[in-house]
Amino acid sequence: AKTPGLPDFSGGAVGYFAYDVARSYQKVKNVKAEQSDPLNMPDIHLLLTNEVIVYDHVKQKIILIVNAEPGSDPKTSYQNAVERLREIQAEIEKGSTPAQAGKAALGNRNSSLDTAWNYSTESKDSFMHKVNQIKQLIEQGEAYQVVLSQRFALPTEADPFGAYRVLRSLNPSPYLFYINCGEYQLVGASPELLVKVTDDLVETCPIAGTRPRGKTPEEDQAYAEELRSDEKELAEHLMLVDLGRNDIGRVAEFGTVAVKNLLHVEKYSHVMHLVTNVVGRLKQGATMYDALKACLPAGTVSGAPKLKAMEIIDQLEREKRGVYAGAVGYLGFNGNMDLCIAIRTILFKGQTAFVQAGAGIVWDSDPETEYEETLRKAKAMLEAIKQGEVG
C-alpha cells in the first residue's frame, strides 16, 4: 500500500520488460527460434532503487526518500538512512549548472517525416507486401488484426539525455522517461498505459485509432470528428477494448471489470488517438506480477486474437522486437506498479539510435496508408535524435 505523504513510487525496481518476455508464459505456437537479435539486449533490465529523489512540478518542491532494511538492528538502519538523506540534501544544495544538451531550436518540424524512410531497416515494398500477407490471413479467418512494425536505425552522436529533453518538448506524453542502463539508454514519451496496480485496483488503457494533428484549430477539430466517426477505427478500437477487458478479467474479481471514458480523443504533438480506460479490482491472491503477465503484450501492439497475432508477427518480422512494444516503468516495494507500453521510444546503443513503430492491420487496410502511419509515429523520435545532436 502507498505510504501517506509519499509519492506513488518511493522505491523499488525501475526498468523494462521486452516484448519477447511474453514468450515465457504466452503459449505462442510456431515461434521462430532462429529470429535474429541484432540489438543483443536482455529481455528484462531492472534497476533496484533504494534512494529516490522526487521533484514535484506542481508544488515546486523536492522529496528525498531512502529505504532502510531494518534487519537485526533497526535503530542503526534508521540512523544510516537519515545520514544518507543528509548527504543527498547536501549534494543537491551544492547546486550545479543544468545540462544544456538538447536545447536546440524546435524548428523545421516536418523534415523528419520526409526522410524517415531513409533510416528504415526494410524497404517500403517489403513492408507493404507484409501488410498484404496479413490481409490474406485475416480473410482466411486467422486473425482480426495484426500490428506490424518496422525499425529505424539512425547513426548519431546525440546525447541521450539531450534527446530526452527535446522529445519531452516535441511530444509531451503521460509517460516520459530516461533510463541509463549502462551500455545503452532508453528515452521515451509513451502515451499508453500497459497496466497499473494501485493497492487492489488494476487498470489498462487501450489506445487505437490515429489521425494527424491539424495545422489549424479548425483542421484539428475536423480530424478529431473524423476519427470519432470512422467506422473502421471505431470497430478496431472496440475490439481492442474487449481484449483489454479480457486481460483485466483474468486477474480481477468477477463483476468488477468496468469500462470508463469510452472512445475519448487524446491529442499529442503529431497525432491524436482514441482512448478508453478499463479497470477492475484484483482478485484475492493476485499480485502485480500476475497483472503484468495478463497484459503483456498489449493487444494494441500485437493484435487480436493476441496469441495468433503474436505468431503472425514472429513469422513476418525478421528480428526480435526487444524493448519495443514491451513495458517500461516501476514495480514498487509497496506492491504498486505502473508500466507504460514501450512505444514512442528511442534506444541509444553505441553510435546508433533505434526507433520502432507499428500499424494495426485489418481486413481493409491500405498498405501505403499503414506504411505512412509508421513514419508518422516515428517522426517525433527522429526529430529528437537530430536536434539532440545540435545541442
Catalytic residues: 273, 300, 324, 344, 360
- Which alpha helices (DSSP H) does 265-366 contain, by range? 288-295, 306-316
DSSP secondary structure letters along 17-60: E-GGGGGGTS--TT--TT-B-TT---SEEEEEESEEEEEETTTT
Q: Which of 359, 350, 348, 355 is nearest to 382 (CA)?
A: 355
Q: Which residues pair with 149 in a beta bridge?
A: 358
Nearest to 342 by CA among 302, 375, 312: 302
**271 with 376: CB under 8 angstroms?**
yes
Q: Which residues contact 306 (CB under 8 A, 6 or more apart)?
A: 26, 243, 297, 299
CA 329 to chain centre: 9
Q: How far apart are CA 63 and CA 154, in angstroms?
A: 38
